[in-house]
Amino acid sequence: MRLATYRTRKSVILYDADSVCDADSAPQLGPALLDPDAWRQHGLVVGEAPGRGASLFLDAGEEQWVLRPYRRGGMIARLSERRYVWAGLERTRAFREFRLTADLYAQGLPVPRPVAAGVTRYGLTYEAALITVRIPGARTLADLLIADEADDDLLQRVGATIRRFHDAGLDHVDLNARNLLVDQENKVWMIDLDRCRLQPPGSWQQANLERLHRSLVKFRNTHAMHAIDQGYAR
């Protein structure tokens, strides 16, 4: 990856120069790169993921990308769904997630390759969006559990993958069955690193697993966590 920065009067984009330059059919580098409407106008939106952020799947030529605008949830969203308090460029959610993802990707951990992070400032607030590469044919662990297609071997590999991230120091603050993907070759990936961080071993590791367990309870699959724990322990 070759990280570079593009600036306009209000917007800053941190991007992988190799990814953007290779995407011949994508909008040119600039604010339009992270603008959902610009992609729609070019007819390059090929799908949409469920969720609050309404992530879009984009046709970027030889690969597909995922464009995820940052959106607030809960009570505070009533005040502003898109705006966040400005505390400096490197402390924006988009830049922090981009740099963390790039760091893990460089270590060879299974995270989608980051493409670009964009921030637009409005005085004391900002809006942001992130683009990553879409994993071809990937399905969420949640969908596999619903379809009863997650056997013990897969679940143990899920646990082993989580352990790899924990050994690297990743505290995934929203570890759930929808943030774990399984591709066509049954490789397990971790996504959505918003607000996540690297830190020394501690109680956060067990807290991550307990959060995942609460997620799995929704699918009434108590056996799944047992198999995941087995893979994690190995």
Contacts for 83-89: CB closer than 8 Å, 24+ residues apart? 83/122, 83/125, 83/126, 83/127, 84/125, 84/126, 84/127, 84/128, 85/124, 85/125, 86/121, 86/123, 86/124, 86/125, 86/126, 89/12, 89/119
Q: Which of 18, 174, 183, 229 is catalytic?
A: 174
CA distance 191 to 188: 10
Reply yes or no on whether 35 is catalytic.
no
Contact between 110 and 168 (Cβ < 8 Å): no
Residue 67 contacts residue 37 (beta carbons within 8 Å): no
What six digits make up the tokens of 162? 């989580």
Residue 116: DSSP 8-state: E
DSSP bridge partners of 198: 170
Q: How far apart are CA 139 and CA 135, in angstroms?
A: 9
Catalytic machinery residues: 174
